[in-house]
Structure 1
């Protein structure tokens, strides 16, 4: 009889290796306490995709306002700036706070990454008017357009939803994104005139416009998923994928994969 006492279980509990009186943590599948604040460092690698189409149209409209060559519909020329994709690495940090209810973990987090994401594009188009314009001359017009963006710092403010499973904490997140960028846009219009379509053409003074801003604050949104893995005590490792989109004059999307190491207090 004394030998069987150690295997006794409470009658109304599942097959747990403890008595009811000593069981206080519920039936959680996780033995890790994710509740509380945490901080960590991270490194990432990813691709940025820039869409330049239409980014300089407003500048060109302003530059050619009341100019006779607008009769050639120059402002609507398809200059073929198109899109660019570049790859870069970065490093940064993250911190946040988790609240835990059994296996469900909800939290808020700020994630920061420093790197060099962005790209540039340049295109040109030249066309001779098929007939004399209202000034009585044929015009040979060439437009060169360029645009570029360089994003050095990104911060995302996220809401996280996670589910604790053993030592793993898979999660999804979404939120608001801020970035610091250098943005440059340039338009150059060269015009030459002739009394006949065969020339010779006399080159006129070119027209140009440049818009350059440094350390410009850009805005967007973020979404992604990842997993935290408890290593020992409060120490955990992280693997994550994040998507960020900035909707500026130059539409930019950034995809990164990241690895990190953090500590929960």
Structure 2
């Protein structure tokens, strides 16, 4: 196990210890609120929650983003379900392509990543129960779980699944269920370590009237697509959207 994985697990153990008392639960809830105010992901989520539809996350790993989204949804849209989808055992080993091999990113190294998360579903369920978040864990590879889920409307999607094939698995099934004006955020777009992510997103939206845009909040940024309300022509240049929060 790599040091970074050990540190993340230790951090989650500290959170679990904090949540054992009412005072600790209140403190952790406050910390999550502070993080939400600094997150461009949550900025876009807040805007999307005004629309009809649910929220889905594809690529959970240790659940950091899941807890942030659950925190804000509990405040603003407690009735909306949040679906947290992941295998919790790493990538589908036979679906890592040459397109996913960035600089110094070899196939055998990618195959080892994100495998240390089997404890996460239980931790997330405890979080959902403690804070009365309408959250649901969906365990399995996207190619298997997403087609079996009941079709529904989504107002917000967060895709953080790194590799080419997984991005297409998500977009091919879910984008059609995103409501007009809804937002899909791509955590790995324009990330040199994950070239397959950009390739998959660019291919999927090549014949669409929209292209990825960048939102910057302070030093943090995310790439996203907002589904058109009606037919519109694609813009040729997408400048980063800069936002400041009080």
Please report the TM-score for the alignment, with normalisation by the length of structure 1. Answer: 0.20
Pick the structure with greater CA Rg: 1
More helix by share: 2
More strand by share: 1
